């Protein structure tokens, strides 16, 4: 797969349809979940995903083969998702909180798969989910998140704390339901 990537990128730079199709097929299963992590509604996430690929194809000349091509595409998908949330005024971030107790995640023999985790993320308010994604999954620092979202450093931190608290609560409910259903 990666052996063909330079050739596919070159074809995309020449606006070759088969190269574009190959790139899309190669990365759709990696890039679509990124959009879905940020945008709750699957149809809206698909719109963001398509817009992101349009931007990839139209900006592919800007990729100078420095660093990871996949990372470059992921960044475009994250930015498209954030732009969508801003346009829809869904990035309402809550007030800053100081000392918040975050409960421990319940212990369980159950494992959670990606689909279940994605469902839990979908239950978070947009602000919590966005900061959680940027910090935990994308690896941004709070300073970077604050800059990207136009919020204070403390708001970024409090959103993450509240997201983790909500996730812990949702996991507790899931564990309780699973244990209850065993009876």
Coil, strand or helix at 182: coil
Query: Which SS3 state, helix, strand or coil, does residue 151 take?
Result: coil
User: Above 70 in pLDDT, residue 2?
Assistant: no
**Candidate from 38-42, 97-101, 119-123 with smallest mean pLDDT:** 97-101
What confidence tier does 65 reach under pLDDT thresholds 50, 70, 90?
A: confident
Question: What's residue 13's pLDDT?
Answer: 93
Q: What is the CA radius of gyration of the chain?
A: 19
Query: pTM of the entire structure?
Result: 0.73
137 has a pLDDT exceeding 60: yes
* pLDDT tens for each residue of 152-181: 999 999 999 999 999 998 888 877 666 555
Asked if the model's pLDDT at residue 97 lies above 50, the reply is no
φ, ψ dihedrals at 152, nearest 5°: -80, 160
Query: Rounded CA gap, 167 and 161, in Å?
Result: 10
Contact 31, 78 (CB under 8 A): no
pLDDT of residue 91 exceeding 80: no
Model pLDDT, residue 153? 92
For residue 175, which of 130, 91, 112 has the smallest C-alpha distance?
112
Average pLDDT over residues 55-78: 92
Highest mean pLDDT among 24-28, 123-127, 167-171: 24-28
Of 49, 58, 57, the residue nearest 23 (C-alpha): 57
Residue 183: pLDDT band with limits 50, 70, 90: low
pLDDT at 1 > cutoff 60: no
Segment 44-58 shows an average pLDDT of 96
């Amino acid at each position: 797969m990666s052996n063909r990537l330079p050739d596919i990128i070159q074809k995309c730079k020449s606006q070759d349809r088969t190269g574009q199709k190959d790139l899309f097929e190669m990365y759709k299963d990696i890039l679509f979940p990124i959009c879905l992590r940020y945008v709750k509604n699957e149809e809206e996430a698909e719109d963001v995903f398509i817009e992101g690929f349009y931007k990839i194809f139209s900006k592919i000349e800007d990729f100078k083969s420095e660093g990871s091509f996949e990372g470059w595409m992921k960044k475009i998908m994250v930015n498209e998702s954030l732009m969508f949330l801003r346009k829809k005024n869904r990035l309402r971030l809550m007030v800053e909180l100081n000392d918040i107790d975050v409960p421990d995640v319940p212990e369980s023999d159950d494992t959670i798969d990606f689909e279940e985790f994605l469902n839990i993320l979908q239950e978070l308010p947009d602000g919590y989910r966005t900061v959680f994604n940027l910090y935990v999954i994308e690896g941004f620092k709070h300073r970077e998140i604050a800059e990207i979202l136009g919020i204070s450093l403390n708001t970024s931190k409090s959103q993450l704390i509240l997201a983790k608290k909500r996730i812990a609560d949702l996991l507790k409910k899931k564990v309780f339901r699973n244990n209850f259903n065993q009876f």
